């Protein structure tokens, strides 16, 4: 039985959002998730699905572009915060290729525990593996540091990072966001975007290694 990657996203403080704003939030989130399902369909085996109003989930066979996808969701609903719990492991039920519902197994249990942990510690990211990997604590500590940095970012910086990771150069990004070259580099340097991007790539590589074992 192959290992898979489960993602559960949980919108922070969703109960505090007014009814009218909540409806708008749901529309924005739904549109963004549908876009991800279309754009990254090669890695997604059970598509992004809103499950509980303020939660959504998906299943992947590869972790490629997972951080880009999370950044896109974050920028879409900014300034509202969101938690992301990732877990690598087995799924005991058949894979639902139409919606990410009706499935169960260790990977989902681990991802759910990650969501509860994030609610307690107020960080934004958590990853769980089946084995007690020595690198897991280092990865989650790195993600905790990353959470603290990203919480202070504006929407523009989130977009700059995910566009950088998609291969756009400074000129294309500056034109898309209608910002100057100095503004682009100020965001890049202040956010240490090269370092953040490299860190996310390294974590992605580890996840993909775990999926193969």
User: What is the residue extent of each domain of the chain?
Assistant: 4-212
Mark the ranges of the chain whose per-residue pLDDT is less than 50.
none
Helix 181-190 and helix 155-165, axial crossing angle in degrees, nearest 10: 90
Rg (CA), the chain: 17
Q: What is the pLDDT of residues 154-174, one digit of tens each?
A: 999 999 999 999 999 999 999
pLDDT at position 175 is: 97
Environment class of 31 (CB within 10 Å of its CB; exposed 0-12, middle 13-18, buried 19+): exposed
**Options 3.30.70.270, 2.40.10.480, 1.10.3720.10, 2.70.98.60; which CATH number does 4-212 get?**
3.30.70.270
Tokens of 15: 């109960």
Q: pTM of this prediction?
A: 0.94
Distance CA 139, CA 123 (A): 13
Q: What is the pLDDT of residues 31-52, one digit of tens each?
A: 999 999 999 988 999 999 999 8
pLDDT at position 174 is: 97
Close Cβ partners of 91 (under 8 Å, ≥ 6 residues apart):
4, 6, 59, 103, 104, 105, 106, 107, 108
């Amino acid at each position: 039985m192959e290992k898979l990657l489960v993602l559960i996203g949980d919108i922070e403080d969703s109960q505090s959002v007014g009814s009218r704003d909540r409806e708008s939030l749901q529309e924005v989130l739904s549109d963004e998730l549908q876009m991800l399902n279309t754009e990254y369909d090669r890695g997604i085996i059970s598509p992004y699905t809103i499950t509980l109003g303020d939660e959504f989930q998906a299943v992947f066979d590869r972790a490629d572009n997972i951080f880009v996808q999370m950044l896109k969701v974050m920028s879409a609903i900014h300034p509202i915060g969101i938690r992301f719990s990732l877990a690598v492991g087995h799924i005991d039920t058949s894979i639902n290729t139409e919606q990410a519902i009706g499935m169960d197994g260790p990977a989902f249990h681990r991802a759910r525990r990650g969501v509860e942990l994030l609610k307690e510690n107020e960080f934004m990211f958590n990853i769980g593996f089946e084995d007690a990997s020595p690198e897991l604590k280092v990865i989650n500590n790195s993600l905790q540091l990353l959470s603290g940095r990203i919480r202070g970012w504006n929407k523009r910086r989130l977009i700059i990072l995910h566009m950088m990771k998609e291969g756009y150069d400074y000129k294309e990004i500056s034109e898309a966001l209608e910002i100057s070259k100095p503004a682009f580099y100020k965001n890049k340097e202040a956010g240490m975007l090269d370092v953040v991007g490299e860190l996310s790539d390294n974590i992605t590589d580890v996840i993909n290694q775990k999926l193969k074992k």
